[in-house]
């Protein structure tokens, strides 16, 4: 068996360690469960130790099966050797539904706890609604205080080792920090060379909240994706000069910000490249200067959650002007 790559870790404000590179598992369409399990077992073999899922992804069961199989086959010794992140669906972002939602997630994973549980969006939708088909009348005000208190209860019960948020602006995160008894350990947001999030990064560093970046390649091929990263002339030039690929340069840039990065590929060779080829080299100061000059544009802007009669009437309102 080839030796697995060791991924550096960060210590969160909760005291727990998290690998700085994780494997995202959102895919449309999702592979059949047996195929997904096989892909994820291969990922564990290669060296992935952090898996990112969500109630809305449909990949929780596959992750649970893969972890069980990896332990059975001796690829890893125990469940404690993998870090599992999952997220609360917007339809369950109601104080009384948070704990049942996490228990449902744990049931699908076949685990006693998740390492990190995130509020997926600062948004609440009526519980009975299909998350894929949202109408304006389905959006309801988000009870940040009540939902976060329920997240803290999940933490106190040991069902989530760390808790955090996703897609929170500086303004929303600031409000949460004022009311939280247990501060969020992580804010998972879109982050790449074409959406660098410098203001949010500085704010989170000041507050001790770790930033985890999704869509580091611009979600190329995804529903909200663009070619802003993969066809970026600046990144292409750096990649050619450094004898690297554009994805390797893009991933290395996020990693060098001191934040964790969520990569997503179900192709075995690309999984290896994403993991192996970002830790053993560095970008130069000139490279970083060039990357800072890349035009900035948010990709995943939350447009489906914007409705004239809903809590957020514009994209600007959702992101508190941080766009």
Predicted local confidence at residue 3, as pLDDT: 66
What average pLDDT does this structure show over 99-118? 98
Cα–Cα distance between 288 and 311 in angstroms, integer? 39
pLDDT attached to residue 310: 84
Annotated active-site positions, please?
A: 57
Region of 219 on the Ramachandran plot (φ > 0 left; ψ -120 to 50 alpha; else beta):
left
Beta carbons of 84 and 16 less than 8 angstroms apart: no
Mean pLDDT lowest for which of 59-73, 117-131, 142-156, 283-297?
117-131
- Please tell me what DSSP assigns to residue 94: S
User: Which of 26-30, 152-156, 226-230 is predicted least confidently?
Assistant: 26-30
Contact 183, 13 (CB under 8 A): yes
pLDDT recorded at residue 175: 98
Look at residue 249 and tell me whether its pLDDT is greater than 80.
yes
Tally Cβ neighbours within 10 Å of residue 120: 21
Looking at the predicted structure, is the pLDDT value of residue 101 above 60?
yes
pLDDT over 90 (residue 49): yes
pTM for this model (two decimals): 0.95
Mean of pLDDT over the chain: 93
51-94 confidence digits (pLDDT tens) = 999 999 999 999 999 999 999 999 999 999 999 999 999 999 99
Percent of residues, the chain, with pLDDT higher than 90: 81
Question: How far, rounded to the nearest angstrom, does the alpha carbon of residue 72 sit from its chain's CA centroid?
Answer: 27
Q: What is the mean pLDDT of residues 178-206?
A: 97
For the segment 281-295, the average pLDDT, to the nearest whole number, is 96
**pLDDT tier for residue 9 given thresholds of 50, 70 and 90:** very high
Q: Is 71 exposed, middle or buried, given 0-12, 13-18 or 19+ CB atoms closer than 10 A?
A: middle
Q: pLDDT tens digits for 168-178?
A: 999 999 999 99
Whether the CB-CB separation of 194 and 22 falls below 8 Å is answered with no
Question: What is the bridge-based pairing of β-strands 139-140 and 124-125?
Answer: antiparallel
Q: Is 320 left (phi over 0), alpha (psi -120 to 50) or beta?
A: left
Tally of CA atoms within 13 A in the half-sphere of 277 that contains its CB:
18
120 is annotated as contributing to ligand binding: yes
**How does residue 224 score in pLDDT terms, banded at 50, 70 and 90?**
low
Does the pLDDT at position 1 exceed 60? no
By mean pLDDT, which of 47-51, 91-95, 108-112, 266-270 is the weakest? 266-270
Q: What is the share, in percent, of the chain residues with pLDDT greater than 70? A: 96
Window from 55-69, 103-117, 129-143, 206-220 with minimum mean pLDDT: 129-143
8-12, 127-131, 315-319: lowest mean pLDDT where? 127-131
Q: Where are the beta strands (DSSP E) in the chain?
A: 9-11, 17-19, 21-24, 50-52, 83-88, 114-119, 124-125, 139-140, 160-166, 186-190, 210-214, 260-263
> Phi then psi for 108, rounded to 5 degrees?
-70, -40
- 304 pLDDT band, cuts 50/70/90, is confident
Give the pLDDT score at 223. 67
Give bridge partners of residue 85 from the DSSP assignment: 52, 116
């Amino acid at each position: 068996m080839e030796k697995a790559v060791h991924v550096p870790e960060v210590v969160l404000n909760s005291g727990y360690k998290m690998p700085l590179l994780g494997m995202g598992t959102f895919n449309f369409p999702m592979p059949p469960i047996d195929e997904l399990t096989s892909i994820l077992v291969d990922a564990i073999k290669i060296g992935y130790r952090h898996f990112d899922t969500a109630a809305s992804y449909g990949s929780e069961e596959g992750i649970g099966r893969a972890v069980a199989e990896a332990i059975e086959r001796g690829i890893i010794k125990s469940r404690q050797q993998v870090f599992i992140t999952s997220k609360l669906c917007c339809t369950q972002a109601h104080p009384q539904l948070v704990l049942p939602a996490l228990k449902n997630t744990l049931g699908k994973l076949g685990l006693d706890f998740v390492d990190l549980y995130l509020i997926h969006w600062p948004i609440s939708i009526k519980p009975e609604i299909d998350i894929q088909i949202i109408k304006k009348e389905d959006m309801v005000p988000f009870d940040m205080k009540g939902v976060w208190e329920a997240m803290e209860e999940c933490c106190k019960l040991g069902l989530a080792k760390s808790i955090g948020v996703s897609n929170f602006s500086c303004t929303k995160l600031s409000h949460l920090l004022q009311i939280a008894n247990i501060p969020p350990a992580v804010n998972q947001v879109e982050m790449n060379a074409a959406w660098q999030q410098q203001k949010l990064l500085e704010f989170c560093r000041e507050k001790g909240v770790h930033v985890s970046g999704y869509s580091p390649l611009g979600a190329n091929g995804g529903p909200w994706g663009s070619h802003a990263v993969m066809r970026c002339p600046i990144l292409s030039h750096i990649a050619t000069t450094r004898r690297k690929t554009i994805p390797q340069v893009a991933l290395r840039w996020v990693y060098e910000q001191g934040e964790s990065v969520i990569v997503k590929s179900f192709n075995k060779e690309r999984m290896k490249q994403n993991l192996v080829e970002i830790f053993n080299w560095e970008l130069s100061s000139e490279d970083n200067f060039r990357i800072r000059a890349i035009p900035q544009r948010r990709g995943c802007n939350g447009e489906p959650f914007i409705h004239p009669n809903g809590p957020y009437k514009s994209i600007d309102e959702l992101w508190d002007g941080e766009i």
